[in-house]
């Protein structure tokens, strides 16, 4: 019994080599590669990232590499920016894990499909990733294939379901022995889960799945709603939206065979705004004419937390959706759904209940990093403190020994 106690204590001490919480839960911070170009007070660089709070920082991201003469090559300008970012991060912290996302952008919407279906191209892609991780001393890579499969509006081809598995298999083999991790950016959209993923196999091949549990209600529906509902409401009769919520989407991943500890719950630190068709009808499910007014920093209908926390002080009336468990606010014909500490607590409680692996923030640069509304990085700090309060699994083992 004494030996098991010392083993547990040793393992517990190892958890502090990185700044993850005592419970072992990850607090993963997405950093948008576009943030240094945001105008005015929205400009955000590697110097602003709260590395003392984040267990991992994911640079989101590098555009998909170009296929040329049998090799994949990343854009030189993007690499130059990434190199400067990494130099800053590594000078500021030796403990935070650094991950990079490989994104598809615009015309490259089929880039993952065209690469993954051809063995030679997969091998070249894995080589390019391996070189990138080694060159910048990275801890891992996030595969952001949005979304595989020809049955999805976003693109893809019919063989994507199997090609995705081939890609992850090759990538796992290519990184074997390096200690580097593979992240997969996974949707909870029911149609994709059914038709585009082999969930059990994906979760056997990757270290973590970063769940897309935010921004789930597009403006194109012209129905006002919070962007990350915990559960569906009675007005949602569209079969495509069935089970498209935090609880059922996450539970579907688990039911389909993914270990909960590999699932990282996404939280969006932003507000989504709409323009009401009738200002007198403003409950969730009311009709809208489109996105809300454009804010100071981002495109129409989206507000980073550091902007919305000030905005909501200027004549907005607050409400709460008790089924979705998220707040919203109304001013005239403008409607805004957003996260606050009350709704984030609900999501953290759910993460604890399901024994998920942690939280990923979309984006850490959306938090109130200036302290406009009080404490700097107030949402990130709140989540960090809550995660610190979770008893560790190792602690339970000590108590039982």
DSSP 21-46: -TT--EEEEEEETTGGG--GGG---T
Nearest to 38 by CA among 50, 28, 48: 48
Note the pLDDT of residue 383: 98
User: Domain for residue 276, yes or no?
Assistant: no
The answer as to whether 254 is a domain residue is yes
Residue 22 clears pLDDT 90, i.e. is over it: no
Give the number of other Cβ atoms within 10 Å of residue 145's Cβ: 26
Question: Is residue 46 a contact partner of residue 58, using CB atoms and an 8 Å limit?
Answer: no
Cβ burial, residue 76 (10 Å; 0-12/13-18/19+): exposed
Query: Has residue 288 been placed in a domain?
Result: no
Largest pairwise CA distance in the chain: 69
State how many domains the chain has. 1
Let me know if residue 129 belongs to a domain: yes
- Assess if residue 325 is contained within a domain: no
Q: What is the DSSP pairing of strand 334-338 with strand 66-68?
A: unpaired
- Tell me, what's the pLDDT at 146? 83
Q: Is the link from the previous residue into 307 a cis peptide, with omega within 30 of 0?
A: no
Q: Is the confidence at residue 382, as pLDDT, over 90?
A: yes
- Structure letter (DSSP) for residue 271: E
Average pLDDT of span 300-327? 96
The verdict on residue 86 lying in a domain is yes
pLDDT confidence bin for 13, thresholds 50/70/90 = very low
With a cut of 80, say whether residue 47 has pLDDT above it: yes
For residue range 359-372, list pLDDT tens digits in order: 999 999 999 999 99
HSE-CB at 201 with a 13 A cutoff on CA atoms is 13
Q: Which of 114-123, 155-164, 199-208 has the lowest mean pLDDT?
A: 155-164
Mean pLDDT of the chain: 91
Summarize the confidence of residues 107-117 as an average pLDDT: 85
Provide the 10 A C-beta neighbour count for residue 237.
8
Residue 111 tokens read as 């880039």
Give residue 150's pLDDT. 63
On the question of pLDDT at 9 being above 70, the answer is no
Q: Does residue 393 carry a pLDDT above 70? A: no
Say which residues have a Cβ less than 8 Å from residue 13's Cβ, sequence separation at least 6: none
Give mean pLDDT, residues 256-260. 98
How far is the C-alpha of 174 from the C-alpha of 62, rounded, in Å?
Answer: 20
300's tokens:
């129409």
Range of the domain at 198: 26-268+339-389
Indicate whether 311 belongs to any domain. no
Query: pLDDT at residue 10 above 60?
Result: no
* Residue 202 near residue 164, CB atoms below 8 Å: yes
CATH of the domain at 183: 3.20.20.80
Residue with tokens 């996302």: 101
Residue 228 in domain: yes
**Which of 140-144, 176-180, 237-241, 258-262 has the lowest average pLDDT?**
237-241
Q: Is 353 helix (H, G, I), strand (E, B) or coil?
A: helix
Q: What is the mean pLDDT of residues 210-237?
A: 94
Q: Give the helix/strand (H/E) hosting 131.
A: helix 119-135
Global confidence as pTM: 0.92
Given a cut of 60, whether residue 29 has pLDDT beyond it is: yes
What's the mean pLDDT in 2-6?
36
């Amino acid at each position: 019994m004494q030996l098991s106690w010392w083993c547990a204590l040793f393992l517990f001490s190892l958890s502090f080599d990185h700044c993850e919480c005592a419970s072992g839960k990850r607090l993963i911070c997405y950093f948008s590669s576009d943030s240094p170009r945001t105008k005015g007070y929205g400009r955000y660089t590697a110097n602003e990232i709260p590395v003392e709070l984040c267990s991992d920082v994911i640079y989101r991201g590098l555009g998909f590499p170009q296929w040329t003469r049998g090799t994949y090559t990343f854009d030189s300008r993007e690499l130059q920016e990434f190199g400067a970012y990494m130099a800053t991060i590594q000078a500021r912290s030796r403990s935070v894990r650094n991950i990079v996302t490989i994104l598809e952008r615009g015309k490259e919407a089929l880039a993952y499909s065209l690469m993954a279906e051809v063995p030679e191209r997969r091998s070249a892609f894995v080589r390019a990733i391996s070189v990138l991780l080694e060159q910048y001393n990275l801890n891992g890579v996030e595969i952001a294939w949005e979304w595989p499969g020809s049955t999805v509006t976003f693109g893809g081809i019919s063989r994507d379901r199997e090609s995705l598995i081939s890609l992850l298999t090759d990538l796992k083999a290519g990184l074997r022995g390096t200690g580097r991790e593979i992240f997969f950016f996974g949707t909870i959209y029911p149609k994709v889960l059914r038709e585009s993923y082999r969930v059990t196999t994906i979760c056997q091949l990757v270290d973590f799945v970063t769940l897309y549990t935010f921004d789930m209600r597009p403006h194109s529906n012209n129905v006002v709603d919070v962007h990350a509902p915990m559960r569906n409401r009675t007005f949602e009769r569209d079969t495509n939206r069935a089970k498209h919520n935090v609880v059922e989407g996450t539970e579907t991943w688990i039911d389909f065979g993914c270990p909960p500890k590999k699932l990282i719950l996404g939280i969006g630190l932003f507000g989504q705004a709409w323009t009401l068709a009738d200002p007198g009808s403003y409950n969730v499910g009311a009709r809208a004419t489109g996105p809300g007014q454009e804010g100071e920093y981002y495109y129409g209908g989206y507000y980073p937390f550091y902007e919305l926390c000030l905005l909501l002080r200027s004549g907005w009336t607050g409400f709460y959706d008790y089924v979705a468990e998220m707040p919203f606010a109304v001013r005239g014909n403008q409607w805004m759904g957003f996260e606050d500490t009350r709704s984030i607590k609900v999501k953290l409680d759910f993460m604890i209940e399901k024994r998920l692996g942690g939280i990923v923030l979309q984006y850490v640069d959306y938090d109130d990093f200036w302290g406009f509304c009080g404490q700097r990085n107030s949402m990130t700090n709140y989540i960090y403190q809550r995660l610190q309060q979770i008893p560790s699994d190792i602690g339970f083992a000590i108590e039982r020994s």
